[in-house]
Amino acid sequence: MKTGKVFLVGAGPGDVGLITIKGMEAIKKAEVILYDRLANPKLLEFAACDCELIYCGKLPDRHILRQENINELLVEKALAGKMVVRLKGGDPGVFGRVGEEAAALAHYQIPFEIVPGISSGIAAPLYAGIPVTHREHAESFAVVTAHDKSEDGKPLLNWEGLARGVDTIAFYMGVGNLPFICENLINHGKPASTPVILIQWGTFARQKTLQGTLADITAKVVAARFTNPAIILVGEVISLREKISWFERMPLYGRQILLARTGESVSGMAQHLMDQGADVIEFPKWKKKVLPVDLTKVSDYEKILFTSPECVGEFFTALFEGGIDIRKIRADFFGVSSKSVKALNARGFSAKLAEEMSESGDLLIVGDDSILRKNHDNADLMVTSKKELDRQFLPIFKRMLAEADVNTMVFPSSASVEQFVEALKECGLDAADVLKDLQVVSMGKQTLAAVAAAGLPSHGMPERAMKEALVAYLAGQPVEEV
């Protein structure tokens, strides 16, 4: 059997837009992905639906997989002929143990590539408004591990060199050793008044910062119960933060949004919300199988209702492959959601939302087999694909939900409500419990009614069922700062 290949990929610090193009290409081609806790799980959604996903997460008090087991798995999967991606948070060469993994692969003569990533020690400060170097404030920069393999975990460092010779220091994952760090920097010549900032979950909307000095930051951390994952940044350059902070001023900074999803791909709404500073967890994750369809009567209908953006593409692909000229179709086109309408508009049709559809006229509903003829008993149904819950993502979703502090729920369509509720049951979760403390927003009147009918909490809707209106609506509802 031909040996496979391994890509040791840096996922970047958290914001999915910060992964490299080469890293993303590797994810899309992967047959197996071994991923860490600090690699944003949303990146896994770009993998093929049959890609095997293996969690290698590490916490300070426990390891899901020890490093030796990870090395063995990389070798095993590659020797089985697989294209393997080892997805690591930040840059794999900065405290990412990539050298050990590469050595294990080299021992078995397995081909591999190392794909650099953006390190959190640089990215997290920038998202907090702090460049790690500056001509007037900092001409040198160091990245330092805040714990090592010693018995007590306290790093053995050249403290005098750091204190006297480096302007800006980034300590990785060092909250537990913060008193030790501050004490040694002060004892070796760093002024006690030197600014310090802790940046937790840098580049995420849940990013939090805590600022002080070497003299008082430890007490502040204890009072705030500040924890890892966090970068500890030390240096005078922190003073620039007040002038050039930018990420925390974005309209949806602090919004951690749970978005109900009915389609297979990452939605345009999710991307727009993230572009405005929000974290977005889309759930559930679906996979599909396209089915053959009967097009013999397609030109007889007066109305065609599309249940998802994906089925729009499937419908027109089927027409083309069936040799049917679109000009033979006389029906008006409608979409269940604004996304479906936009997919039709993009093809040159003046489509409308389902709520604007009249009762009269023969109706064809185009969609997947999870959409029934609700409120349209006399309609015909064209099933273009079979949609299934991607169960491999259920434990991934539960970990994302546990680590985030979700404060907002968005239902983009009426169809999304029941599917979301049922998928949560597959995770052993009750929708009412999950949503009880969240601001629940509905896109459109039909969606609002579906949320109410499901017995879920509801807090209104934007003026229009558009992503721009949603951003304006959420920006007008301030999130309580922690």
Helix (H, G, I), strand (E, B) or coil at 274: helix
Helix H or strand E segment including 54: strand 52-55
The answer for residues whose C-beta is within 8 angstroms of residue 246's C-beta and 6 or more apart is: 129
Are 160 and 188 in contact by the 8 Å Cβ rule? The answer is: yes
- Token pair, residue 280, equals 């977005």
74: left (phi over 0), alpha (psi -120 to 50) or beta: alpha
Rounded to 5 degrees, φ, ψ at 21 are -60, -40
Strand 141-145 relative to strand 168-172: parallel, antiparallel, unpaired?
parallel
Measure the CA–CA gap between 277 and 248, rounded to whole angstroms. Answer: 8
Instruction: Look up residue 348 and give its amino acid.
Output: G
| Helix (H/G/I), strand (E/B), else coil: 418 | helix
Task: Evaluate whether 394 touches 410 at the Cβ level (below 8 Å).
Answer: no
Q: How many C-beta neighbours within 10 Å does residue 420 have?
A: 24
- Close Cβ partners of 70 (under 8 Å, ≥ 6 residues apart): 34, 56, 86, 101
Nearest to 159 by CA among 173, 171, 176: 171
- CA atoms within 13 A of residue 52's CA, in its CB half-sphere: 12
What residue has token string 């610090």? 13
For the annotated catalytic residues, the residue numbers are 36, 58, 173
Cβ burial of 446 (10 Å; 0-12, 13-18, 19+) is buried
DSSP string covering 312-336: HHHHHHHHHHTT--GGG--PEEEES
- Residues linked to residue 33 through DSSP beta bridges, in sequence order: 53, 85
Tokens at 283, concatenated: 């759930």
364, 303 Cβ separation under 8 angstroms: yes
Which residue, 279, 244, 216, 386, is CA-closest to 17? Answer: 279
Alpha carbon 2 to its chain centroid, in Å, reads: 34
Residue 244 has which token pair?
Answer: 């050039």
